[in-house]
Structure 1
Amino acid sequence: MPPTFHGIVSISGSLTHILNLQELKSAFGNVYASLLDNGVFVFNIYLEAAFQSSWNGSITGDVKDEDAWALKTIYYPEEKISRLHFTIFQLLEGSWQRTDNTVEEKCYSVAEIRSALEDVGFTEISVYDAERDFGVERDPGNAYFICRKAHI
């Protein structure tokens, strides 16, 4: 597919669901290939401060008339992996049904991300901290990256 886009945005820290650096680099390469010359890629990603914050060991959830859910997040610093354990209850035909699922997220460093971006050709890489640079409260470790595909 030829380069098509002037800009690509990825939000909600979705790139943390890519669990190894080579696959993250491959995703960056696909973004790069999809951008027109001088195109911009903007994304946020959660760094270790986010994984070590109130997320670690936190439990959250919600209860409604026909469903309920709970989420427990545990960060394993030695693996740089966070596991999100979901439990969902749904009232189906008068009976409660339970579903359990686990989703993993990978914690990358700024240096790893910057290197992967550079390896696929991105330039003008800027990194911003949501709390410090944008004044977003209670958001530790949320980093925003802005980079550009070189004009050839």
Structure 2
Amino acid sequence: MLCLKLLRIARTNVPESKFILGDIRKLDLQPIYDAVISIDVFCHILNLEELTTVFQKVYTAMRCNGIFAFTTPTVEEAWLTTIFENRYNFEYFNRIIEGDTSILIERYYNHNHEEKIREVKFTSLELINEVWQRSDSTMLVKDYLISEIKSALANAGFIEINKYSSRDFGDDGPVSAPLFVCRKPSVLQ
């Protein structure tokens, strides 16, 4: 399973950290976090009601004045809008290589135009006992409107909701990602 492989890589690279594997929609944590950071997780929540519920769970897990920052694709991104408007099959390949594991990510953007849902296919190759083992998986990804994300954050209780470009924070990757930053208010607000 891909997430277990990625979790193993994370634990190897940052052994002093605590990692939790679970469905964020079902995660219940105490309010002990001063900040929550997420990279491209919320695009896997396929409807706005569930997205709002997830934001509420993050809100509950944070201390007052905590900062919540995350990236997620949005429909307003020029390259994504072009893909949906033209309804063509755009393939974009990514490779992640770590030790004896290679992951090929193949993205298809024409799965469900009306719902802004696309299909992402993963092929993983892992060297086990000197033999490469292949594993395939597929997942769906939803691209929300910026207004939908901001509304879901506000409905969860967050304030000072801002959208930036990941480039504003030093990202030099091939595609700039929308970066949302907001805050849980203090008790007195």
Q: TM-score range by the shorter chain?
A: 0.7 to 0.9
> How big is the shift at 1:24?
1.2
Deviation at 1:5, TM superposition (A): 2.0
Find the aligned partners of 2:97 and 2:60 in 1 and give their Cα distance: 44
For 1:51 and 1:21, the matched residues in 2 are separated by 22
Shift of 1:139: 2.0
Q: How many residue pairs were aligned?
A: 148
1:51–1:75 Cα contact (<8 Å) kept = no
Matched, 1:37 2:64: yes
1:44 shift after superposition: 1.4
Show the counterpart of 1:129: 165
Compare relative contact order (CA 8 Å, sep 6+) and give the higher one, 1 or 2.
Answer: 1
Which SS does the other structure have where 1:22 is aligned? helix
Q: Deviations over 1:103-149 (max 9, x none)?
A: 22110111000000000111111111124x34644323x11111111
CA shift in 2, pair 1:100/1:123, >3 Å: same
Cα deviations across residues 4-53 of structure 1 (Å, max 9, x unaligned)?
A: 2222221x212212222111111110111112222221111122328738
* Pairing 1:21–2:21 present: no
Q: Residue 71 in 1 paired to residue 112 in 2?
A: no
Deviates most, 79-88 or 142-151: 79-88
When normalised by structure 2's length, the TM-score is 0.64
The aligned residue for residue 147 of structure 1 is: 182
Q: Which runs of 5+ in 1 are unaligned?
A: none
Would you say 1:85 and 2:113 are equivalent positions? no
Corresponding letter in the other structure for 1:18: I
Percent identity, aligned pairs only?
33
| Displacement of 1:102 | 0.4
Mapped pair 1:116 → 2:144 = no
Tell me, in whole angstroms, the C-alpha distance in 2 between the residues paired with 1:121 and 1:74. Answer: 34
The structure with the greater share of residues assigned to strand is 1
Tell me the secondary structure at the aligned position of residue 112 of structure 1. Answer: helix
Q: What is the RMSD of the two structures over their aligned residues, measured on CA atoms?
A: 3.0
CA contact (8 A) 1:57 1:75 kept: yes
Task: Give the 3-state SS of the residue equivalent to 1:75 in structure 2.
Answer: strand
Change (3 A) 1:51 1:108: farther
